[in-house]
Amino acid sequence: MNKPGILDNVRIVLSHTSHPGNIGAAARAMKTMGLTSLYLVNPKRFPNNQADVMSAGAQDVLENAVVCSSLDEALQGTALAVAITARSRDLSHAAVTSRQAAPQIMEHALAHKVALVFGTEMSGLTNEEVNKCQMLASIPSDQEFSSLNLAAAVQVMAYELRMALPDTGLAEPKIRDFAALEDIERFYQHLEQVLVEIEFLDPQEPKRLMQRFRRLFSRTRLEREEVNILRGVLAAVQKS
């Protein structure tokens, strides 16, 4: 697959952005690195003149932006969602640097849609939003002044992806048939249901165990056939 093809599979998702100028600046940052797919979850103001001005010629990215009413909607059809966050979080996610994340993201983007999810200017992503992602990436920064401008963070991540484009020559990266996130969600629902039926789930704390399972399977990046197998096992348990 050619390079533009890979980058076309990368979706930049901006959640609840306050300043339209940042949306425009993010569009420009994306386009300089060859990214064009922009999703906006409940932007405060969009479309907006300030966004157009700051895009500085990346008007097409703004015009083709998809405005969504929820993060779920913005993640539809993706096989990997990466939360970009400055704060270190006490969550059960694989946390990597922007640089470590890039090749993994590009591996997915070879044949699947992937999303990079950015939170608001003031407070970043909510825990609920982070939980919908399978990977957590942080841009290394000064501990006492760690808050990058939103568009600057988009610029750094887009830059890292471009730098991670597969070079011609070396071993062809193997294309893996990753499962769609909505199918993985259906698997979790099915799993929870079966765990209740076999009375394994602690009714006092059902969420906690499910969180452990999410963590386990998020690390492994389930493939489509694997989800089918796992659901087959669950169905067999229900019939037995």
Tokens 């994306």 sit on residue? 30
Q: What kind and span of H or E run contains 38?
A: strand 37-41
Binding residue count for a second copy, defined by CB under 8 A: 60
> Residues near 212 by Cβ (< 8 Å), separated by ≥ 6?
92
Choosing from 37, 124, 138, 178, the residue that interacts with a second copy (CB under 8 A) is 138
Choosing from 69, 168, 203, 204, the residue that interacts with a second copy (CB under 8 A) is 168
Choosing from 12, 29, 38, 101, the residue that interacts with a second copy (CB under 8 A) is 29
φ, ψ of residue 94 to 5 degrees: the values are -70, 115
Alpha-carbon dihedral angle through residues 30, 85, 121, 39, given to the nearest 10 degrees: 40
The CA-atom distances, in angstroms, between 84 and each of 130, 138, 162 are 9, 6, 17
The token pair at 202 is 């602690």
By CB under 8 A, is residue 25 in contact with a second copy?
A: yes
By CB under 8 A, is residue 53 in contact with a second copy?
A: no
Choosing from 66, 67, 91, 95, the residue that interacts with a second copy (CB under 8 A) is 95
- Dihedral class, residue 169 (left if φ above 0, else alpha if ψ from -120 to 50, else beta): left
71 or 184, CB closer to a second copy?
A: 184
By CB under 8 A, is residue 200 in contact with a second copy?
A: yes
CB of 136 vs a second copy, minimal distance in Å = 10
CB of 29 vs a second copy, minimal distance in Å = 6
By CB under 8 A, is residue 141 in contact with a second copy?
A: yes
- Dihedral class, residue 163 (left if φ above 0, else alpha if ψ from -120 to 50, else beta): alpha
CB of 138 vs a second copy, minimal distance in Å = 6
By CB under 8 A, is residue 10 in contact with a second copy?
A: no
- 3-state SS class at 102: helix
69 or 174, CB closer to a second copy?
A: 174
Choosing from 28, 108, 113, 132, the residue that interacts with a second copy (CB under 8 A) is 28
- Dihedral class, residue 69 (left if φ above 0, else alpha if ψ from -120 to 50, else beta): alpha
CB of 54 vs a second copy, minimal distance in Å = 8
By CB under 8 A, is residue 192 in contact with a second copy?
A: no
Angle, CA of 27, 127 and 220, to the nearest 5°: 85
**Residues in touch with a second copy (CB under 8 A):** 25, 28-29, 31-34, 56-58, 88, 95, 97, 99, 138-143, 145-149, 151-152, 155-156, 159, 162-163, 168-171, 174, 195, 197-200, 209, 212-213, 216-217, 219-222, 225-226, 229, 232-233, 236-237, 239-240
